[in-house]
Amino acid sequence: MAIVETRRVFVGLDYHQEKVQVCVVDDQGKLLFDKPAGNAWGVIAAAANRYGNVQGVAIECCCGAANLAKELADKAGWNVSLAHPGFVARMKQNPDKTDFTDARILADLHRVGYLPKVWLAPDEIRELRRIVRYRQELVDERRNVKLRIRALLRDERIRLPEECGRPWTKAWLAGLRGIDQLAPTSRWILDEQLQRLTSLSGRIREVESRLEDLVAEDAVVKKLRSFQGIGLITAAVMRAEIAQFDRFQTGKQLSKFCGVTPRNASSGNRQADAGLLKAGNKQLRMVVIEAAHRLMRLDDRWLALACRLKQAGKPTCVVIAAVANRWIRWLHHQMQPEFLAG
């Protein structure tokens, strides 16, 4: 019994909705246990604690895994790490995939210190992520409705008169509702799409109102919104996806996380870039790029940088990405705890 109590063990968890594969290895890599257990923190903790003192737990990041990891950390007192699923998959080097082997490699990677970790966000950040991502789903759905309306108008070869103003304004929508040269079926489809468009716009406003209340006392959001060109949505998305700016050691790391750094495509004597990194959260990269557009209009510092790059012959898309990259690096310094406190 004394040997078991002093034995150092590492745990790998392959997560599923109904059950979790639990693998326990000792500090020499010897397999002690690898069987499925119920998806409950108490059941998992009881299965692993029988074999020794748990030094670390690895669970592959997926839907629901963060919630279980938080329970194991808070209630079982374990040191739980989320593993990056993409890196883990490449490190397996095995065409066969089973829950048994997946849990085993997670335990082994944690044991030898090679586990590619993902930051485990606190509850309030995960809640904020849910609402900003839900808003983006509604915005994407509204965009698709607008595309369907445009497609219907092109198919019927209808163009609204110039006095209706810019597309999607109240005057333009009123002109759209007044079109009388549509076939009956097309008229019905257009009315259905306009009704959906109105409903979605109202739901988006409701989400944004709830989002405003949710971040009203958040110091990071307040600081972000104090910068020129940064509004509620940009600040909320950055807070949700980046969360803590000081978890990145440098501005370069933060810029890579935001997906606004060039992807290196060098080989031998050839040195080249291949566009932006195709990794990271797409919504975060989108709001950062949109912020760069606004900064180039509103802030003389970033406008001057954009002008220098354009004079050097850089394409507009490269200029915008460069401004976004430099701004995020600058922002990393501005958002450190000592500046937030002030």
pTM of the model: 0.87
pLDDT tens-digit map of 203-234: 999 999 999 999 999 999 999 999 999 999 99
Please give the average per-residue pLDDT across 62-88, as a whole number. 91
Please give the average per-residue pLDDT across 94-111, as a whole number. 86
∠ Cα 82 105 277 (to 5°) = 55
Q: Residue 243 — left, alpha, or beta (φ > 0 → left; ψ -120 to 50 → alpha)? A: left
The per-residue pLDDT of the chain, averaged, comes to 90
Q: Is the pLDDT of residue 1 over 50?
A: no
Please give the average per-residue pLDDT across 315-340, as a whole number. 90
pLDDT tens-digit map of 105-142: 999 999 999 999 888 899 999 999 999 999 999 999 99
pLDDT tens-digit map of 9-39: 999 999 999 999 999 999 999 999 999 999 9
Q: Is the pLDDT of residue 197 over 80?
A: yes
Count of CB atoms situated within 10 Å of the CB of 282: 10
What is the pLDDT, as a whole number, of residue 265?
63
Q: Residues, the chain, total?
A: 342
pLDDT tens-digit map of 164-186: 889 999 999 999 998 888 889 99
Q: Is the pLDDT of residue 74 over 50?
A: yes
What is the pLDDT, as a whole number, of residue 271?
60
Give the integer Cα–Cα distance in Å for 127 and 230. Answer: 21
Give the integer Cα–Cα distance in Å for 81 and 111. Answer: 12
